[in-house]
Amino acid sequence: MPARDVPVREPSTTLDTRYSSDGATPTAWTAAVGGLTEAEVFWLATLRPEGRPHVTPLIAVWMDDALHFCTGPAERKAHNIAANSHCVLTTSTAGGNDLHAGLDVVVEGEAVQVGDEETLRRLADAYAAKYGGDWRFEVRDGAFVGGGGRAVVYRVAPETAFGFGRGETYSQTRWSFTGTG
């Protein structure tokens, strides 16, 4: 289990000059992957079945070119994903609430349940390596099992992602994975 995944899918990368400083350059996808790998807290946005938004913080790991998160099968986010699997995960690096430093990363994609036990074991090891022993899961019957009970695991491979760089220059980068692979 690598600590840092090397991206296999290379996206097309564009800089939106409307929202970037003069002289800004696009952020490399590898920098975004570094942020996704190191970030501890993510925000998941889903839609309730009647269409109202739902946002919640959670932890996630980057592995095999995708973000992975888990939740109890009876939780709101699991119900939302069952009705509409499209979601957005966001995170921030280097002082996420600092207007003058860091990189915000937004990943849009589809949440797909992971049931393969070999993959789940690798993910359980990744959770424990990143978040410590309090986040150690057993793998049983296609899910994580821990102190909080059974948790289903989802994989979100980026379809489109955005990077918002802050610092001496501000930049807005778009990474599109359509037609890549």
Which tens digits make up the pLDDT trace of 59-112? Answer: 999 999 999 999 999 999 999 999 999 999 999 986 666 776 889 999 999 999
Higher pLDDT among residues 147 and 165, named by residue:
165
Residue 6 has pLDDT above 60, yes or no: no
Lowest mean pLDDT among 5-9, 49-53, 145-149, 154-158: 5-9
Q: What is the pTM of this model?
A: 0.91
Cβ atoms within 10 Å, residue 88:
18
Architecture of the CATH domain 12-176:
Roll (2.30)
Extents of the domains making up the chain? 12-176
Say if residue 51's pLDDT is above 90. Answer: yes
Please check the confidence at residue 179 and state whether its pLDDT lies above 70: no
pLDDT digits (tens, 9 = 90+) for 155-171: 999 999 999 998 888 99
Burial 95-120 (b: 16+ CB within 10 A, else e): eeeeeeebbbbbbbbebeebeeeebb
Gap between the Cα atoms of 35 and 104, Å rounded: 8
Q: What pLDDT is attached to residue 95?
A: 63
Residue 105 near residue 59 (C-beta atoms within 8 A): no
Distances from the Cα of 121 to the Cαs of 73, 128, 148, in angstroms? 19, 11, 18
Q: Where does residue 64 rank: exposed (0-12), middle (13-18), buried (19+ CB within 10 A)?
A: middle
Q: Work out the pLDDT band at 5, boundaries 50, 70, 90.
A: very low
pLDDT at 180 over 90: no
Average pLDDT over residues 123-147: 93
